[in-house]
Structure formats: C-alpha cells, structure tokens
Structure 1
Amino acid sequence: MPHMPRSSLQAPASVVMIRPHRFTPNAETRRDNHFQTASPMNAATVAKAAHDEVTRAADALQAAGVQVHLFEDKGAETPDSVFPNNWFSTHSGGHVAVYPMYSTNRRAERRADVLEMLKHRYRVQDIIDYSGLEQDGLFLEGTGAMVIDHLERVAYAARSRRTSEILLERFCTHFNYEPVVFDAVDATGQPIYHTNVVMCIGTGFAMIGLDCIADTARRHEVAERLRRGERDIIALGHAQIAEFAGNAIELQGRDGLVLALSSRALRSLDGVQRATLERHATLLPLDIPTTEHAGGSVRCMIAGLHLSARPLNS
C-alpha cells in the first residue's frame, strides 16, 4: 500500500460553507445546467431539507477535523448561495480571487463579510476582483469553472458560457497556473456547465469523466497531463458523472486526508474505484439529495481555504 500523506497543499484544512434558509433550484441557471432536476416537495419543505443537509454536512466535516466557517443566507434572491465555490477562491501566498458570475441572480452571492472574515482569520495579501468583467460578458465561475491542481500548478477548464478563455488566461497569468482547456459533454452531447462535475483532483489520485471529452486526442492529452503528477487516474463513466461522482473534494482532516463526496456519488463507484480512492484518503459521504436538485453536489458546496491562519490572538 502506498504511503498516505497526512497533509497536502492540495487539501485545505479549513473551508467556507453557506447554510441557506430559502433554498430552491435556480430557474435562471437551468438553461445550461442539465444536472438540475425538479423536486417533488413544496418550496418550504425543500428549503428546510437543504438547510438541514448543510447543517449535517458541516457537522460531519467538523467531526472529521475540518474547520468549517459556516455563514447563514437568509435572503430570498440567492437560490444558489449554497455553492460559494463559484464566487471566490483562495491560493497559497495569501491570494484571493473574486469572480464574475454568468447568471444575474447569482451575483448577489458575493459577500463582503466572508472576505472580511478571511482577512481577519487568515493571512490575506491581496484580493483580485474580476467581477466587474460581468459588464463585458466575461465569466469565470471560480472552482466550478476551474479544477485546480495546486501541486502541479495547473488549472483545468471545460469550455462553457461560465468559463471565458480570455479570463481564464488572465487568471492563470495572475496566479501562476498553466491553463488546460477542453470541451466536455454529457451522455446526450450537451455541453457540461462546470468543470468540477467532470473531474476531481486529489493529492495521489484524479477522478475524471474521460468519456465526456469527445475529442480523442484531447482526451489523451488531458489524461497525460494528469499522470505527470504521478497520480492514480480513475476514469468515471457518463452515468457516474450524472450521479456527481466527479464533484468531490479532498480535505485535510484530523487524522489525515479525507475525500468529501455525496452519498449518491459514492454509491455510483465500483469496488475497484473505491479501493483506489481509499489508498489515498478516507471516504466521507455526505447525504445531500435535496441540494443536488440544484445541479451541484459536495464540491460545489465547499470553498476551500488555501491560506495560512493567523494566530488566534492576533
């Protein structure tokens, strides 16, 4: 069995989550998010269920030793606020990025109080705010649009309305990443809206829906770039991508690395895939069926903090 590292630059030990009080699948994003599904429950029941799912998920992460900064969203105008990874990201060296969002009603998700907490609790050197580029029709929805390899300094991105190649290049120049861009489609040939439903990069593994990359040559190039990080590559099929198996995140727990993913995603994995993952991280399934109606899963719910904490008395 390979040595499982106890910590890694890839796996943040602290995260931000948003607990919604008025959650509902977002009608405005349904046009290009084909992972969204209708809920059979009424609006009040859906909102309560999502609130409770986030509460239990945050508790489970904290029980595993992950520090969770849990913010409340009581507004009615931000149906996707449970997915904060789209509007900001953090990077080693004290760097924070704030992003332009494709859907108008997602732009109100950006919160000054979250950024103030980061500056107070962590060593933040600068905040680069790209959100003004919404006026130019340029969008880059954070670590939904990009799946970042913090070890190899690569930003993987599937082309979509939510991922401007111009802005991706600008981000990679500012933050010192190599961009790797590709086209990704679901089983019906529809473009996939966010890269983080196609792939997940951990310290010693990468899960990716290689079948989603229709161009054979590009598929091989992407797989080869991932292998250069000496990772085990776990190929996910279209059915597993549809079950959110790619929408997972490796985190730093009390006793080593954990892989947070949804119960639904875990059920879709076969025995060999599970065994491969378990060589690298402890699997931490979270039960979030209501939240998944909005077309995102565990990775979307978690904004990882790749920042150095300040001393508590500072």
Structure 2
Amino acid sequence: METKQCADTILMIRPVNFRYNEETAVNNYYQRVIDNLHPQDAQQRAQQEFDELVKQLRERQVNVIVIDDTAAPDTPDSIFPNNWISFHDDGRVGLYPMYAHNRRLERRDEILATLENRYHLKISGIEDFSFHEEENKFLEGTGSMILDRPNRLVYAALSLRTNQEVLGEFCKKFGYEPVTFKAYQTVEGQRMPIYHTNVMMCVADEFAIICDASIDDAKEKKEVLSSLKKTGKEIIPIEEAQKYHFAGNMLQVTSITGQKYLVMSSAAYSVLRAEQKDAIEKHCPIIHSSLDTIEALGGGSARCMMAEVFLPVQHKN
C-alpha cells in the first residue's frame, strides 16, 4: 500500500474552556495576553473561529471528525490535539509526552473508543511514549515532528519539547529516519529555541514551506534543505517576520474527491507575498480562516488544530 503524505480525514477537538495557558507560556513566545478579554469571551471567540475553520474544510469536502472537549478536567489547550496523538496507516496510534502538566490531561481514551465505535476506524496498536514525562523528556507529536511519510523522514527542531532520545524511539518504532537541527527566534534581543518545529516548517506532497533563516547553524541548514531537495520538494522559503504570523504553521489535506488544499490562518495568508502564494497555488488551492484569538492566547494556529487520521477503515465481517 502506498503511503500518502496528506490525510483526507482530520480530527479536531472543539474547545469548551479555551484560554491563555500560563503553563505553556514559559517557552511558547507566540502566546500573548489580550487585554480586557474576559475568559468567557475568549472561549466564545475561539469556538467561533474553530467552527468557521471546520465549516470551510467541510465545504471543500474534507472529512472532519469533531469531538467536543469535556469541561473537566481543565484543558485550556485541547484545541491542539496534534501534540498528544498521531494516527498511522498501519492502524497504530502514537501517544506523546507533554511538557505542560495540564496538557497531559488531554489524552483521553474515549476519543480512541469513539474513532473505533462511531467512525469504524481500525486501531491495531498503541505506541505510548508518554511515560517519558516522568523523566522530563518530551516529544509533542506532530508539533515536534514534521513527518515526510512516503520518504520515512522526520524533521525535528530539537528543544525542551522535542527530545532527541524520545525522537529516536519514535523513529525506531515507526520506521523513520530523523533529520534534526536547532531552530531559533529572537526574543528580546536573544536567540531562543523555537518550541515546536511546526511553526517554522511544513512539508506537503510536492513542496515544503520553511523558515530556513531560523536555523542558525550553516551546516544544519544545508542538511535540511538538501534533504528536502533530494526528496523532490519545491522549497518555498518564508522570512522570520512571516513566521511570527504563523506562516510556517500550515497543513496540506485532501478532500474525499482527491483535491488537495493547504490550510492556514488568515493572519498567515495576509503576510505571504504574491510570489509565495503563486508558488503554493501552483500545487494546490489555499484555505484560510481567521484564528486571531486562538493564535494570540494559544500560541498555535491552523496546523496545530488538526490531527491527521490515516487509520484504516474496519472491514465488516
């Protein structure tokens, strides 16, 4: 069976208590407080932005499985499921160690039960890396890892949330080769590690969007770009200023008719130059939707909200 890069089914978690998460803000420099915004209003706005993105995806016949979050336990970042779970075409599921204590509560067994019982998807096994939390070693799913599924490569910017040892275990279990590097952003005049790889790069089927300016080491930068070129990707570079508006946080998805789309926020779309949009649209149309509240308070964008579901469908006996 040919391994696909783009999923035609997406899992999204509809928030019930979305707000600024102090636990993640210590090293997610994309989060910011919105002055005079009541928590209830933050939740309401986030829910509206979530619903609008789901609507846009469904209008283009992308299969979206929406599961409501629960009021308890308190999980302000549950809208970003791609950090704690990944789904693979052999039926396996990956569960990941999370840096923030309140994000660990997002791992819910009943979500897997719903996928099996209601959506008739086949789960053949679970690879659970979450025990590494006890050792303070983290690997936050497809936030930490950009998977090139057909070429069995995983691009990973090492950081407090992307541990090399746990990454090695993932690669061994799932049969990937790691391409590791350090990526940075300037915070108050200092170069600080980027917390998630998926804010600075996106790998689609025929192209890759990357903020290579964030890779300070010339050798590492060359290795990453050379790996992308070797696998036939057209490289579409973005600048650091564009990355701050989540122009790297994108995901290519497929509709049930086979049409591919690149999904991003309207903030990301607005900072792309005409030639960058043209380069993307040569490969596939763009879907963009306003995620201003989610981006500001959550420090994540469109890609973080979508967990790709590659699980096989259960065969009826």
With the length of structure 2 as denominator, give the TM-score of the two structures: 0.94
**1:55 aligned onto 2:57:** no
Q: Which residue of 1 aligns with 2:162?
A: 163
> 3-state SS of the aligned residue for 1:44?
helix
**2:90 paired residue among 82, 90, 93:** 93
Deviations 1:187-220 (A, max 9, x none): 3412100000010000011001100000011101
Number of the residue aligned with 1:35: 30
Residue 267 of structure 1 is matched in structure 2 by 270
**Coordinate RMSD, CA, aligned:** 1.5
| 3-state SS, counterpart of residue 79 of structure 1 | coil
TM-score between both structures, scaled by the size of structure 1 = 0.94
Residue in structure 2 matching 1:206, options 205, 208, 217: 208
Q: Distance in 1 between matches of 2:173 and 2:114?
A: 23
Which residue identity is paired with 1:43?
P
Q: Alpha-carbon deviation of 1:255?
A: 5.2
Measure the CA separation in 2 of the matches of 1:205 and 1:100.
29
Could you tell me how far apart the structure 1 residues matched to 2:3 and 2:128 are? 27
Q: Who is 1:241 aligned against?
A: 243
Other-structure match for 2:291: 288
- Give the % identical residues: 37
Contact map agreement 2:3 2:149 (CA 8 A) in 1: no
Q: Tell me if the contact between 1:209 and 1:241 (Cα under 8 Å) persists in the aligned partners.
A: yes
Q: Report what 1:136 is aligned to.
A: 135
Equivalent position amino acid for 1:19 in 2: R
- The number of aligned residues is 307
SS class of match (2:126): strand
Q: How far apart are 1:72 and its partner, in Å?
A: 1.0
In 1, Cα distance between equivalents of 2:278 and 2:3: 20
Please tell me the residue identity of whatever aligns with 2:63: Q
Letter of the 2:259 counterpart: G
Report SS of the residue matched to 1:187: strand
Counterpart residue number, 2:179: 180
Q: Return the offset for 1:228.
A: 1.2
* Unpaired stretches in structure 1, ≥5 consecutive residues: 1-6
Task: Give CA deviations for 1:29-58 in whole Å, capped at 9, x if unaligned.
Answer: 111000111113221111100011111111
Query: In the alignment, residue 222 of structure 1 is paired with which amino acid?
Result: V
Deviation at 1:118, TM superposition (A): 3.0
1:68 counterpart (49, 64, 82) = 64
Rounded Cα–Cα distance in structure 2 between residues aligned with 1:57 and 1:310? 28
Partner of 1:4: none
Where does 1:102-113 land on structure 2 (aligned, <5 Å)?
102-113=99-110
